[in-house]
Each structure stands twice: as C-alpha cells, then as structure tokens.
C-alpha cells in the first residue's frame, strides 16, 4: 500500500450516497485529508460514492476509441490549446525534460465546454456512447467537490465556502477543469526508447486531481528524500493529489511541486505479458478569473500571509495558458 506513505481515508460519512453530510463529519474527514496532503500530497478515499464497476464500464466504452484504426482517431485529434480531443503516443512530455523521450501513452481530453459541444465533434461514431459516458462521469465527479468543502473546514479557512465560490464554472468554457481518459498501449523493450516512461515526472496544475486506476499499477509518487514509492491500485478507492494551484493558495504548506511529483513507469510484467494499462483522471481547476497566488485567509489570523509578502496577482487562465504554451509547444490561443 505505497509503503504506507499514502493514507487511506474513509469518506463514507460524506460520500455521494449521502444527500447531505454534517459539519462534524466534514471536519473529521477534512482534518484527515489535510494531514495527508501536508505529509505526502496524496490520499486514497474509499466509500466515496462511485463504484469500480462504473469506472470499468466507462473504460470499456471509451476503450473502443483507442483500439479503432488510426485514421479514425486522427479525425478527433486535439487542435492547438483547445483542450479537447485525442493526443497520440509520443506526443507529450509533461515533465518538460528535453533529455527524456515523450510519454508512451495516448489520451483523450474532455474540457468543461464539452457540455455544450456540437455532437459532431464527439467520437461517438467510433466509440458509441462515448459522449454520454464521459459527461455522466464528469457530473458525478463534480459532486465530489465536497472533498474541498471538507478540506476548507480542516484547514480552518476564514470562509469555509471558498472552494465553492471559485469553482462555480467548472463545466463551462470559463474553467480549465478537464476529464482525461488514458490508454497505455502494450509495450516491449523493442518499441520503448531509452528512458521512456508511460508518464513523465511532473506535478499537476490543478486545485486537486482525481485519479482512477485499473489494477495494472505503475503509478509512482516521489517522496521528500527523492526516492519513489508505488501508489498501488487499491480496490474501491480514488487517489487524490494536491495540485500546484492548491499549493500556491496554501503558501506551500500542502505539497505539490516540491516533493510530490509523480510518474507512471512500465512494469516488468507489462513488458512480459504485453498488458494494456488504463486510467481515468479528473483535473479540477478554479474558474478562469480566479487569482491562484493569493494565499488563503484563515480564521486564525496568525496563519495569514502579510500583504507585504504577497506577489502580483495572477489569474488561473493566465497561468495555465503560459504553462500550456510550453507543454504543447504552441503559441496558439
């Protein structure tokens, strides 16, 4: 279990099956999440309200796209910085290290604006039910933002509804919130470049990221001492990590860029048995006009950052677009 490095928190008292959860339950769970995010930057949540069977069926539906002929997939290729569409194997290096080959993975991004997207832009002709399955998943995942409500209470924020207020536009063109369905094709020593990973070492730009793994494994988390430990798939859980935005708000008290970089490696068993790996991610971003480097305000005023130490304010969209230009190697808006 990831060398006991990543704690498992039971979210049953606040899971999606519950229409409402009490302030007391939110506070208890929030404290546990704050502790996990402060120590490792990651937490497994169990009994959160989405079943493994549901995730597996979603992967089956979207998997039809990844196993279709290349010419069909190319019709839905991502364009510029639109953040919607397919990206092929060897086209992205999230770690931005020029000495490391691009990732051995492919994926399809679905952004918030997809809820009003023309049906002709969806690959439903290649993978029947693709749009319905993904949009239903995104609506369910959005409800898990009560995780952030619990976090706000656990942190002792002056405004416990802070996260609600700056994530109101998640499923619209005014937010970079994105679902990503990933497909890691079979690999062998002959078609892997030296040093090539499934997913290069990186941190996420998000508030938080939700990761739903299959049972293959390969995800690893970087510890403070620079060593990596496996974030093994645990049945019935979702893995959640701190993103760079949350770290900035928390003035680096919650870990993202410094010590919880993560990666996906090719496991020996995958090479030997030619196994396909699947995962699903939901990247939670604040509304585009939200200032992402203005530190939290706490009930305990002694924790607040003096205004003199605060830097020039930067909106979420300004920051992300600068990062995306480098990641996608484009100046296109």
Q: How many domains does the chain have?
A: 1
- Token reading at 63: 């998997």
Answer whether residue 272 shows pLDDT above 70. Answer: no
CA angle 289, 181, 81 (to 5 degrees): 40
* Crossing angle of helices 23-39 and 146-155, rounded to 10°: 80
Domain that holds residue 84: 2-328
333 lies in some domain: no
CA quadruple 62, 64, 68, 72: dihedral positive or negative?
negative
253 lies in some domain: yes
255 lies in some domain: yes
| pLDDT tens profile 155-165 | 999 999 999 99
174 lies in some domain: yes
pLDDT level of residue 270 (50, 70, 90 thresholds): low
45 lies in some domain: yes
| pLDDT tens profile 156-208 | 999 999 999 999 999 999 999 999 999 999 877 767 888 888 888 888 999 99
Question: What mean pLDDT is predicted for residues 88-104?
Answer: 80
316 lies in some domain: yes
Classified as helix, coil or strand, 139 is helix
9 lies in some domain: yes
214 lies in some domain: yes
List Cα–Cα distances, 39 to 32, 135, 226, 250, 315, in angstroms: 11, 33, 14, 14, 27
Give the CATH number, domain containing residue 155. 2.60.120.330
Classified as helix, coil or strand, 287 is strand
């Amino acid at each position: 279990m990831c060398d006991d490095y990543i704690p498992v928190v039971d979210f049953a008292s606040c899971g999606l099956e519950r229409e409402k959860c009490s302030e007391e339950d939110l506070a208890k769970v929030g404290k546990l999440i704050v502790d996990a995010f402060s120590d490792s930057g990651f937490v497994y949540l169990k009994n959160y309200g989405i079943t493994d069977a549901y995730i597996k069926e979603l992967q089956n539906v979207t998997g039809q796209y990844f196993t279709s002929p290349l010419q069909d997939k190319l019709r839905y290729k991502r364009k510029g910085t639109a953040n919607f569409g397919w990206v092929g194997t060897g086209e992205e290096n999230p770690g931005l290290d020029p000495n490391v080959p691009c990732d051995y993975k492919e994926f399809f991004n679905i952004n918030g604006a997809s809820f009003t997207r023309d049906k002709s832009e969806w690959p439903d002709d290649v993978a029947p039910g693709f749009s319905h399955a993904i949009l239903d998943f995104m609506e369910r995942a959005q409800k898990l933002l009560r995780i952030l409500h619990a976090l706000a209470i656990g942190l002792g924020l002056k405004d416990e509804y802070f996260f609600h207020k700056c994530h109101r536009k998640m499923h619209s063109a005014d937010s970079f919130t994105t679902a990503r369905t990933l497909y890691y094709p079979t690999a062998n020593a002959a078609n892997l470049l030296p040093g090539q990973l499934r997913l290069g070492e990186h941190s996420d730009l998000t508030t938080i990221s939700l990761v739903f793994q299959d049972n293959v494994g390969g995800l690893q988390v970087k510890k403070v001492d620079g060593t990596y430990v496996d974030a093994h798939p645990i049945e019935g859980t979702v893995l959640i990590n701190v993103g760079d935005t949350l770290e900035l708000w928390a003035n680096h008290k919650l870990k993202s860029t410094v010590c919880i970089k993560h990666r996906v490696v090719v496991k020996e068993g995958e090479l030997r048995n030619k196994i396909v790996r699947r995962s699903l991610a939901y990247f939670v971003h604040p509304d585009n006009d939200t200032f992402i480097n203005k530190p939290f305000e706490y009930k305990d005023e002694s924790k607040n950052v003096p205004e003199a130490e605060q830097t020039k304010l930067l909106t979420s969209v300004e920051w992300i677009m600068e990062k995306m230009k480098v990641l996608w190697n484009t100046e296109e808006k």
